[in-house]
Structure 1
Amino acid sequence: DEMFISTKAGYDMWPGPYGNWGSRKYLMASLDQSLKRMGLDYVDVFYSHRFDPETPMDETLTALVDIVRQGKALYAGISRWPRQAEEYAYAFLENHGCHCLLFQDRLNIFDRESVSSGKLQASIDAGVGFIAFSPLAQGLLTNRYLNGIPQDSRATNSKFLNTDQITPELIARIQKLSELACKRGQTLAQMAVSWVLAHKGVTSAIVGSSSPEQLLDTVKSAENISFTQEELDIIDQI
Protein backbone atom coordinates (compact mmCIF):
# COMPACT_ATOMS: atom_id res chain seq x y z
CA ASP A 1 0.00 0.00 0.00
CA GLU A 2 2.99 2.31 0.34
CA MET A 3 4.27 1.51 -3.16
CA PHE A 4 3.05 2.41 -6.64
CA ILE A 5 3.60 -0.59 -8.90
CA SER A 6 3.13 -0.67 -12.64
CA THR A 7 3.81 -3.17 -15.38
CA LYS A 8 3.24 -3.30 -19.10
CA ALA A 9 2.93 -5.53 -22.14
CA GLY A 10 3.66 -4.94 -25.80
CA TYR A 11 6.97 -6.51 -26.73
CA ASP A 12 8.37 -10.04 -27.04
CA MET A 13 7.53 -12.21 -24.04
CA TRP A 14 7.35 -15.72 -25.49
CA PRO A 15 7.47 -17.36 -28.96
CA GLY A 16 4.44 -17.49 -31.19
CA PRO A 17 1.72 -15.08 -32.34
CA TYR A 18 0.26 -14.51 -28.86
CA GLY A 19 3.45 -13.41 -27.10
CA ASN A 20 3.75 -9.93 -28.53
CA TRP A 21 1.93 -6.73 -29.60
CA GLY A 22 -1.55 -5.88 -28.30
CA SER A 23 -4.13 -8.63 -28.66
CA ARG A 24 -6.54 -9.30 -25.82
CA LYS A 25 -5.05 -12.77 -25.34
CA TYR A 26 -1.52 -11.42 -25.08
CA LEU A 27 -2.35 -8.55 -22.70
CA MET A 28 -4.36 -10.79 -20.37
CA ALA A 29 -1.78 -13.59 -20.35
CA SER A 30 1.17 -11.23 -19.95
CA LEU A 31 -0.39 -9.50 -16.95
CA ASP A 32 -1.35 -12.82 -15.34
CA GLN A 33 2.25 -14.01 -15.70
CA SER A 34 3.61 -10.75 -14.26
CA LEU A 35 1.31 -10.93 -11.25
CA LYS A 36 2.36 -14.51 -10.62
CA ARG A 37 6.07 -13.63 -10.84
CA MET A 38 5.65 -10.66 -8.49
CA GLY A 39 3.39 -12.49 -6.08
CA LEU A 40 0.70 -9.82 -6.33
CA ASP A 41 -3.05 -9.83 -6.81
CA TYR A 42 -3.06 -6.55 -8.73
CA VAL A 43 -0.87 -3.69 -9.93
CA ASP A 44 -1.60 0.00 -9.70
CA VAL A 45 -1.19 0.66 -13.42
CA PHE A 46 -1.09 -1.67 -16.40
CA TYR A 47 0.11 -0.23 -19.72
CA SER A 48 -0.42 -1.22 -23.30
CA HIS A 49 3.23 -0.56 -24.05
CA ARG A 50 3.09 -0.50 -27.84
CA PHE A 51 0.52 0.41 -30.47
CA ASP A 52 -0.41 -2.66 -32.51
CA PRO A 53 -1.24 -1.83 -36.16
CA GLU A 54 -2.61 -5.36 -36.74
CA THR A 55 -5.05 -5.55 -33.83
CA PRO A 56 -8.18 -3.35 -33.75
CA MET A 57 -7.69 -0.59 -31.20
CA ASP A 58 -11.05 -1.44 -29.65
CA GLU A 59 -9.80 -4.95 -28.81
CA THR A 60 -6.67 -3.67 -27.08
CA LEU A 61 -8.55 -0.95 -25.22
CA THR A 62 -11.44 -3.21 -24.19
CA ALA A 63 -8.87 -5.57 -22.69
CA LEU A 64 -7.53 -2.69 -20.59
CA VAL A 65 -11.06 -1.81 -19.45
CA ASP A 66 -11.75 -5.43 -18.47
CA ILE A 67 -8.42 -5.73 -16.66
CA VAL A 68 -9.38 -2.76 -14.49
CA ARG A 69 -12.90 -4.07 -13.93
CA GLN A 70 -11.50 -7.44 -12.91
CA GLY A 71 -9.38 -5.71 -10.29
CA LYS A 72 -6.07 -6.85 -11.77
CA ALA A 73 -5.04 -3.21 -12.20
CA LEU A 74 -6.38 -0.10 -10.50
CA TYR A 75 -5.73 2.09 -13.53
CA ALA A 76 -5.03 1.74 -17.24
CA GLY A 77 -2.26 3.44 -19.19
CA ILE A 78 -0.86 3.47 -22.70
CA SER A 79 2.71 3.92 -23.86
CA ARG A 80 4.36 4.99 -27.10
CA TRP A 81 1.11 5.21 -29.07
CA PRO A 82 1.01 7.59 -32.08
CA ARG A 83 -0.78 10.91 -31.58
CA GLN A 84 -4.07 10.06 -33.32
CA ALA A 85 -4.27 6.62 -31.70
CA GLU A 86 -3.45 8.21 -28.34
CA GLU A 87 -6.39 10.61 -28.63
CA TYR A 88 -8.71 7.80 -29.74
CA ALA A 89 -7.63 5.72 -26.73
CA TYR A 90 -8.36 8.55 -24.30
CA ALA A 91 -11.89 8.98 -25.65
CA PHE A 92 -12.60 5.24 -25.80
CA LEU A 93 -11.44 4.57 -22.26
CA GLU A 94 -13.33 7.62 -20.94
CA ASN A 95 -16.52 6.49 -22.65
CA HIS A 96 -16.16 3.09 -20.99
CA GLY A 97 -15.74 4.52 -17.50
CA CYS A 98 -12.02 3.79 -17.38
CA HIS A 99 -10.16 7.11 -17.53
CA CYS A 100 -6.62 6.68 -18.85
CA LEU A 101 -4.35 7.54 -15.95
CA LEU A 102 -0.96 7.84 -17.67
CA PHE A 103 0.63 8.16 -21.07
CA GLN A 104 4.25 7.00 -21.16
CA ASP A 105 6.64 8.26 -23.82
CA ARG A 106 10.29 9.14 -24.35
CA LEU A 107 11.37 12.67 -23.47
CA ASN A 108 14.84 14.04 -22.88
CA ILE A 109 17.01 16.99 -23.88
CA PHE A 110 18.15 15.18 -27.04
CA ASP A 111 14.78 13.65 -28.00
CA ARG A 112 11.72 15.93 -27.89
CA GLU A 113 9.44 14.15 -30.34
CA SER A 114 6.70 13.75 -27.74
CA VAL A 115 6.55 17.56 -27.49
CA SER A 116 6.93 18.40 -31.19
CA SER A 117 4.35 15.81 -32.23
CA GLY A 118 1.79 17.17 -29.80
CA LYS A 119 1.55 13.97 -27.75
CA LEU A 120 2.38 15.74 -24.49
CA GLN A 121 -0.21 18.43 -25.19
CA ALA A 122 -2.81 15.78 -26.07
CA SER A 123 -2.35 14.18 -22.66
CA ILE A 124 -2.69 17.58 -20.98
CA ASP A 125 -5.90 18.29 -22.92
CA ALA A 126 -7.37 14.94 -21.88
CA GLY A 127 -6.40 15.26 -18.22
CA VAL A 128 -3.99 12.34 -18.54
CA GLY A 129 -0.69 12.27 -16.70
CA PHE A 130 2.49 12.09 -18.77
CA ILE A 131 5.33 9.93 -17.51
CA ALA A 132 8.64 10.30 -19.31
CA PHE A 133 11.00 7.42 -19.91
CA SER A 134 14.66 7.66 -20.93
CA PRO A 135 15.14 11.13 -19.38
CA LEU A 136 18.90 10.47 -19.39
CA ALA A 137 18.96 9.38 -23.05
CA GLN A 138 20.24 5.87 -22.29
CA GLY A 139 22.91 7.33 -20.01
CA LEU A 140 24.23 9.91 -22.48
CA LEU A 141 23.04 12.73 -20.20
CA THR A 142 25.26 11.65 -17.32
CA ASN A 143 28.94 11.99 -16.53
CA ARG A 144 29.61 8.53 -18.01
CA TYR A 145 30.58 9.87 -21.45
CA LEU A 146 32.26 13.16 -20.58
CA ASN A 147 35.67 11.77 -21.49
CA GLY A 148 34.81 9.12 -24.05
CA ILE A 149 33.27 5.64 -23.92
CA PRO A 150 33.96 3.50 -20.81
CA GLN A 151 34.37 -0.22 -21.48
CA ASP A 152 31.55 -1.11 -19.09
CA SER A 153 29.13 1.50 -20.43
CA ARG A 154 25.73 0.85 -21.94
CA ALA A 155 27.05 1.90 -25.35
CA THR A 156 29.23 -1.21 -25.42
CA ASN A 157 26.57 -3.60 -24.14
CA SER A 158 23.13 -2.42 -25.26
CA LYS A 159 21.00 -2.86 -28.35
CA PHE A 160 19.49 0.60 -27.75
CA LEU A 161 22.77 2.50 -27.79
CA ASN A 162 25.98 1.77 -29.68
CA THR A 163 29.45 3.22 -29.86
CA ASP A 164 28.87 4.66 -33.34
CA GLN A 165 26.44 7.14 -31.84
CA ILE A 166 29.03 8.52 -29.41
CA THR A 167 30.75 10.93 -31.77
CA PRO A 168 33.28 13.63 -30.76
CA GLU A 169 30.59 16.20 -31.60
CA LEU A 170 28.12 14.53 -29.24
CA ILE A 171 30.69 14.33 -26.44
CA ALA A 172 31.37 18.07 -26.90
CA ARG A 173 27.64 18.78 -26.53
CA ILE A 174 27.46 16.62 -23.41
CA GLN A 175 30.43 18.50 -21.92
CA LYS A 176 28.75 21.86 -22.57
CA LEU A 177 25.55 20.64 -20.90
CA SER A 178 27.59 19.41 -17.93
CA GLU A 179 29.20 22.86 -17.59
CA LEU A 180 25.74 24.45 -17.43
CA ALA A 181 24.61 21.89 -14.87
CA CYS A 182 27.60 22.75 -12.66
CA LYS A 183 26.61 26.42 -12.76
CA ARG A 184 23.16 25.38 -11.56
CA GLY A 185 24.69 23.38 -8.71
CA GLN A 186 23.62 20.09 -10.26
CA THR A 187 25.14 17.07 -11.93
CA LEU A 188 24.35 16.61 -15.61
CA ALA A 189 21.99 13.75 -14.77
CA GLN A 190 20.15 15.89 -12.23
CA MET A 191 19.75 18.76 -14.67
CA ALA A 192 18.54 16.39 -17.39
CA VAL A 193 15.80 15.00 -15.15
CA SER A 194 14.95 18.50 -13.86
CA TRP A 195 14.54 19.68 -17.46
CA VAL A 196 12.04 16.88 -18.11
CA LEU A 197 10.10 17.53 -14.89
CA ALA A 198 9.93 21.25 -15.66
CA HIS A 199 7.63 20.64 -18.62
CA LYS A 200 4.00 21.46 -17.98
CA GLY A 201 1.98 18.25 -17.91
CA VAL A 202 4.87 15.94 -17.05
CA THR A 203 3.81 13.93 -14.00
CA SER A 204 6.97 11.97 -13.38
CA ALA A 205 10.09 10.52 -14.95
CA ILE A 206 11.25 6.91 -14.99
CA VAL A 207 14.85 6.58 -13.87
CA GLY A 208 17.08 3.58 -13.48
CA SER A 209 19.86 3.15 -10.96
CA SER A 210 22.58 0.68 -10.10
CA SER A 211 22.69 1.58 -6.41
CA PRO A 212 20.58 3.25 -3.69
CA GLU A 213 23.07 6.13 -3.64
CA GLN A 214 22.62 6.74 -7.36
CA LEU A 215 18.86 6.75 -6.98
CA LEU A 216 18.94 9.19 -4.06
CA ASP A 217 21.24 11.45 -6.08
CA THR A 218 18.84 11.42 -9.03
CA VAL A 219 15.83 12.13 -6.81
CA LYS A 220 17.45 15.44 -5.86
CA SER A 221 16.52 16.58 -9.38
CA ALA A 222 13.03 17.35 -8.12
CA GLU A 223 14.44 19.96 -5.75
CA ASN A 224 15.32 22.35 -8.57
CA ILE A 225 13.09 22.31 -11.64
CA SER A 226 13.20 26.07 -12.24
CA PHE A 227 15.13 27.24 -15.29
CA THR A 228 15.80 30.78 -16.41
CA GLN A 229 15.00 31.58 -20.01
CA GLU A 230 18.72 32.02 -20.61
CA GLU A 231 19.42 28.49 -19.34
CA LEU A 232 16.68 27.05 -21.55
CA ASP A 233 18.05 28.93 -24.56
CA ILE A 234 21.57 27.57 -23.90
CA ILE A 235 20.22 24.01 -23.66
CA ASP A 236 18.30 24.48 -26.92
CA GLN A 237 21.38 25.86 -28.68
CA ILE A 238 23.51 22.93 -27.53
Structure 2
Amino acid sequence: MNSGKVYLVGAGPGDEKLITLYGMECIQKADVIVYDRLINRNLLKYAKDGAELIYCGKEPGNHALIQETIHALLVEKAKQGNIVTRLKGGDPCVFGRAGEEAEVLAQHAIPFEIVPGVTAGIAAAAYAGIPVTHRDYAASLTIVTGHGRREKGEDRLHWEGLAKGSDTIAFYMGVGNLPYICQQLIQYGKSSDTKVAVIEWGTTERQRTVVGTLQDIEEKVKKACLSHPSIILVGEVVKLREKIKWFPEAYCLEGETVESI
Protein backbone atom coordinates (compact mmCIF):
# COMPACT_ATOMS: atom_id res chain seq x y z
CA MET A 1 0.00 0.00 0.00
CA ASN A 2 1.23 3.48 -0.82
CA SER A 3 2.14 5.71 2.08
CA GLY A 4 -0.36 8.33 3.07
CA LYS A 5 0.50 11.86 4.05
CA VAL A 6 0.69 13.83 7.29
CA TYR A 7 -0.37 17.45 7.74
CA LEU A 8 1.08 19.17 10.81
CA VAL A 9 -1.61 21.80 11.30
CA GLY A 10 -1.90 24.82 13.56
CA ALA A 11 -5.47 25.03 14.87
CA GLY A 12 -5.06 28.59 16.10
CA PRO A 13 -5.19 30.01 19.62
CA GLY A 14 -8.68 28.94 20.74
CA ASP A 15 -11.37 30.77 18.81
CA GLU A 16 -12.40 28.23 16.15
CA LYS A 17 -12.78 31.00 13.55
CA LEU A 18 -9.06 31.76 13.74
CA ILE A 19 -7.99 28.57 11.99
CA THR A 20 -6.70 29.11 8.45
CA LEU A 21 -8.64 28.03 5.37
CA TYR A 22 -5.94 25.48 4.56
CA GLY A 23 -6.02 24.17 8.12
CA MET A 24 -9.76 23.62 7.79
CA GLU A 25 -9.25 21.79 4.48
CA CYS A 26 -6.80 19.46 6.22
CA ILE A 27 -9.40 18.64 8.87
CA GLN A 28 -12.11 17.99 6.29
CA LYS A 29 -10.08 15.58 4.16
CA ALA A 30 -8.34 13.65 6.95
CA ASP A 31 -8.84 9.93 7.47
CA VAL A 32 -7.22 10.27 10.88
CA ILE A 33 -7.05 13.34 13.14
CA VAL A 34 -4.54 13.28 15.99
CA TYR A 35 -5.38 16.25 18.16
CA ASP A 36 -4.01 18.09 21.20
CA ARG A 37 -5.63 19.34 24.40
CA LEU A 38 -5.72 23.05 23.53
CA ILE A 39 -7.50 22.88 20.20
CA ASN A 40 -11.10 24.04 20.05
CA ARG A 41 -13.08 20.77 20.01
CA ASN A 42 -15.69 22.38 17.75
CA LEU A 43 -13.17 21.99 14.93
CA LEU A 44 -13.60 18.22 15.10
CA LYS A 45 -17.19 18.64 13.93
CA TYR A 46 -15.80 19.42 10.47
CA ALA A 47 -14.15 16.00 10.16
CA LYS A 48 -15.62 13.76 7.49
CA ASP A 49 -17.84 10.83 8.42
CA GLY A 50 -15.80 7.86 9.55
CA ALA A 51 -12.65 9.81 10.34
CA GLU A 52 -10.71 8.35 13.26
CA LEU A 53 -10.21 10.88 16.07
CA ILE A 54 -7.29 10.24 18.41
CA TYR A 55 -6.67 12.40 21.48
CA CYS A 56 -3.05 12.88 22.50
CA GLY A 57 -3.32 15.92 24.75
CA LYS A 58 -0.77 16.85 27.37
CA GLU A 59 -1.20 18.73 30.59
CA PRO A 60 1.15 19.00 33.56
CA GLY A 61 1.55 15.57 35.13
CA ASN A 62 -0.95 13.89 32.78
CA HIS A 63 0.05 13.03 29.22
CA ALA A 64 -2.49 11.01 27.23
CA LEU A 65 0.34 9.87 24.96
CA ILE A 66 4.05 10.49 25.35
CA GLN A 67 5.81 12.18 22.43
CA GLU A 68 7.56 9.02 21.23
CA THR A 69 4.21 7.23 21.08
CA ILE A 70 2.79 10.09 19.02
CA HIS A 71 5.71 9.77 16.60
CA ALA A 72 5.06 6.05 16.19
CA LEU A 73 1.33 6.65 15.76
CA LEU A 74 1.81 9.19 12.96
CA VAL A 75 4.17 6.84 11.14
CA GLU A 76 1.86 3.85 11.55
CA LYS A 77 -1.28 5.62 10.36
CA ALA A 78 0.47 7.19 7.38
CA LYS A 79 2.04 3.88 6.33
CA GLN A 80 -1.47 2.41 6.27
CA GLY A 81 -2.23 4.87 3.46
CA ASN A 82 -4.20 7.39 5.51
CA ILE A 83 -4.34 11.15 5.23
CA VAL A 84 -3.38 12.15 8.76
CA THR A 85 -3.99 15.60 10.20
CA ARG A 86 -1.97 16.31 13.32
CA LEU A 87 -3.93 19.15 14.91
CA LYS A 88 -2.05 21.40 17.33
CA GLY A 89 -3.03 24.50 19.25
CA GLY A 90 -1.66 27.80 17.97
CA ASP A 91 1.15 27.41 15.46
CA PRO A 92 2.69 23.93 15.17
CA CYS A 93 6.24 25.30 15.11
CA VAL A 94 5.91 27.56 18.14
CA PHE A 95 6.44 25.16 21.05
CA GLY A 96 4.26 22.65 19.21
CA ARG A 97 7.02 20.10 18.55
CA ALA A 98 6.20 20.02 14.84
CA GLY A 99 9.91 20.09 14.08
CA GLU A 100 10.48 16.86 15.99
CA GLU A 101 7.51 15.17 14.35
CA ALA A 102 8.59 16.33 10.90
CA GLU A 103 12.06 14.89 11.51
CA VAL A 104 10.58 11.49 12.30
CA LEU A 105 8.33 11.58 9.24
CA ALA A 106 11.28 12.53 7.04
CA GLN A 107 13.33 9.65 8.47
CA HIS A 108 10.56 7.26 7.42
CA ALA A 109 10.16 8.89 3.98
CA ILE A 110 6.56 9.83 4.72
CA PRO A 111 5.27 12.89 2.83
CA PHE A 112 4.21 15.75 5.07
CA GLU A 113 3.33 19.43 5.09
CA ILE A 114 3.52 22.01 7.87
CA VAL A 115 0.45 24.25 7.93
CA PRO A 116 1.08 27.42 10.01
CA GLY A 117 -1.46 28.66 12.52
CA VAL A 118 -2.12 31.83 14.50
CA THR A 119 0.07 31.66 17.58
CA ALA A 120 -1.35 32.36 21.04
CA GLY A 121 1.27 34.88 22.13
CA ILE A 122 0.14 37.32 19.47
CA ALA A 123 -3.55 36.42 19.25
CA ALA A 124 -4.28 36.31 22.99
CA ALA A 125 -2.53 39.66 23.35
CA ALA A 126 -4.64 41.18 20.57
CA TYR A 127 -7.85 39.88 22.14
CA ALA A 128 -6.75 41.43 25.43
CA GLY A 129 -6.26 44.79 23.73
CA ILE A 130 -2.46 44.58 23.69
CA PRO A 131 -0.61 44.88 20.36
CA VAL A 132 2.75 43.15 20.77
CA THR A 133 4.47 45.86 18.69
CA HIS A 134 3.74 49.59 18.51
CA ARG A 135 5.70 52.51 17.08
CA ASP A 136 5.74 54.31 20.42
CA TYR A 137 6.42 51.35 22.72
CA ALA A 138 7.88 48.25 21.09
CA ALA A 139 9.99 47.56 18.01
CA SER A 140 10.75 43.95 18.94
CA LEU A 141 8.99 40.84 20.18
CA THR A 142 10.63 37.81 21.78
CA ILE A 143 8.77 34.51 22.21
CA VAL A 144 10.06 32.37 25.06
CA THR A 145 9.15 29.09 26.69
CA GLY A 146 8.20 29.55 30.31
CA HIS A 147 9.31 26.08 31.35
CA GLY A 148 12.33 25.30 29.22
CA ARG A 149 14.77 22.49 29.81
CA ARG A 150 17.57 22.98 32.30
CA GLU A 151 20.89 21.27 31.88
CA LYS A 152 22.97 20.34 34.93
CA GLY A 153 20.85 22.66 37.02
CA GLU A 154 21.61 25.64 34.79
CA ASP A 155 18.93 27.77 33.16
CA ARG A 156 19.38 27.82 29.38
CA LEU A 157 17.61 31.15 28.89
CA HIS A 158 19.74 34.24 28.35
CA TRP A 159 18.02 36.40 30.94
CA GLU A 160 20.22 39.45 30.50
CA GLY A 161 19.46 39.49 26.79
CA LEU A 162 15.75 39.14 27.49
CA ALA A 163 15.75 41.85 30.13
CA LYS A 164 17.75 44.38 28.15
CA GLY A 165 17.27 43.41 24.52
CA SER A 166 13.56 42.94 23.87
CA ASP A 167 10.73 45.46 24.11
CA THR A 168 7.95 42.86 24.41
CA ILE A 169 8.41 39.35 25.78
CA ALA A 170 5.75 36.64 25.44
CA PHE A 171 6.23 33.69 27.78
CA TYR A 172 4.36 30.52 26.85
CA MET A 173 3.45 27.84 29.42
CA GLY A 174 5.02 29.89 32.19
CA VAL A 175 2.28 30.69 34.72
CA GLY A 176 3.65 28.08 37.13
CA ASN A 177 7.05 29.75 36.94
CA LEU A 178 5.76 33.31 37.16
CA PRO A 179 7.63 34.20 40.40
CA TYR A 180 10.92 32.95 38.92
CA ILE A 181 10.35 34.76 35.61
CA CYS A 182 9.70 38.08 37.37
CA GLN A 183 12.65 37.60 39.70
CA GLN A 184 15.05 36.86 36.83
CA LEU A 185 13.93 39.79 34.69
CA ILE A 186 14.33 42.22 37.59
CA GLN A 187 17.69 40.73 38.56
CA TYR A 188 19.02 41.16 35.02
CA GLY A 189 17.91 44.71 34.46
CA LYS A 190 14.16 45.10 33.87
CA SER A 191 12.55 47.75 36.05
CA SER A 192 10.27 46.28 38.69
CA ASP A 193 7.63 48.73 37.40
CA THR A 194 7.60 47.13 33.95
CA LYS A 195 4.05 46.30 32.90
CA VAL A 196 2.93 42.65 32.78
CA ALA A 197 -0.28 40.99 31.60
CA VAL A 198 -1.26 37.38 32.17
CA ILE A 199 -3.96 36.13 29.78
CA GLU A 200 -5.74 32.86 30.54
CA TRP A 201 -7.59 30.89 27.82
CA GLY A 202 -6.90 33.65 25.29
CA THR A 203 -9.38 34.25 22.43
CA THR A 204 -12.04 32.01 24.01
CA GLU A 205 -15.17 32.75 26.02
CA ARG A 206 -13.13 31.80 29.11
CA GLN A 207 -10.51 34.49 28.55
CA ARG A 208 -9.44 36.47 31.61
CA THR A 209 -6.63 39.01 31.88
CA VAL A 210 -4.76 40.29 34.91
CA VAL A 211 -2.47 43.31 34.59
CA GLY A 212 0.24 44.41 36.98
CA THR A 213 3.99 44.94 37.14
CA LEU A 214 6.93 42.64 37.60
CA GLN A 215 6.76 43.55 41.26
CA ASP A 216 3.12 42.71 41.96
CA ILE A 217 1.79 40.47 39.16
CA GLU A 218 2.40 37.25 41.10
CA GLU A 219 0.08 38.30 43.92
CA LYS A 220 -2.58 39.57 41.49
CA VAL A 221 -2.57 36.34 39.49
CA LYS A 222 -2.84 34.30 42.67
CA LYS A 223 -5.78 36.40 43.88
CA ALA A 224 -7.57 36.01 40.55
CA CYS A 225 -7.00 32.21 40.55
CA LEU A 226 -5.47 32.24 37.05
CA SER A 227 -3.92 28.98 35.92
CA HIS A 228 -2.75 27.33 32.71
CA PRO A 229 -3.08 27.71 29.79
CA SER A 230 -1.90 31.31 30.08
CA ILE A 231 0.33 33.69 28.16
CA ILE A 232 2.56 36.11 30.08
CA LEU A 233 3.30 39.41 28.31
CA VAL A 234 6.02 41.70 29.60
CA GLY A 235 6.51 45.20 28.21
CA GLU A 236 5.18 48.71 28.00
CA VAL A 237 2.68 47.75 25.27
CA VAL A 238 0.57 46.36 28.13
CA LYS A 239 -0.33 50.00 28.93
CA LEU A 240 -2.45 50.12 25.79
CA ARG A 241 -4.98 47.64 27.15
CA GLU A 242 -6.83 50.34 29.07
CA LYS A 243 -7.39 52.25 25.82
CA ILE A 244 -8.15 49.52 23.32
CA LYS A 245 -9.44 46.44 25.13
CA TRP A 246 -12.42 45.22 23.15
CA PHE A 247 -13.08 41.57 23.88
CA PRO A 248 -15.56 40.68 26.68
CA GLU A 249 -13.89 38.56 29.34
CA ALA A 250 -15.05 36.05 31.94
CA TYR A 251 -14.47 36.61 35.64
CA CYS A 252 -14.79 34.32 38.65
CA LEU A 253 -15.55 34.94 42.27
CA GLU A 254 -12.58 35.16 44.59
CA GLY A 255 -11.48 31.69 45.63
CA GLU A 256 -13.04 29.90 42.64
CA THR A 257 -11.06 28.33 39.82
CA VAL A 258 -11.94 28.96 36.20
CA GLU A 259 -13.21 25.37 35.88
CA SER A 260 -15.93 26.13 38.46
CA ILE A 261 -17.51 29.03 36.55
Asked whether the two chains share a fold, i.e. TM above 0.5, the reply is no
Higher normalized helix content (fraction of residues): 1
The higher-RCO structure (CA 8 Å, 6+ apart) is 2
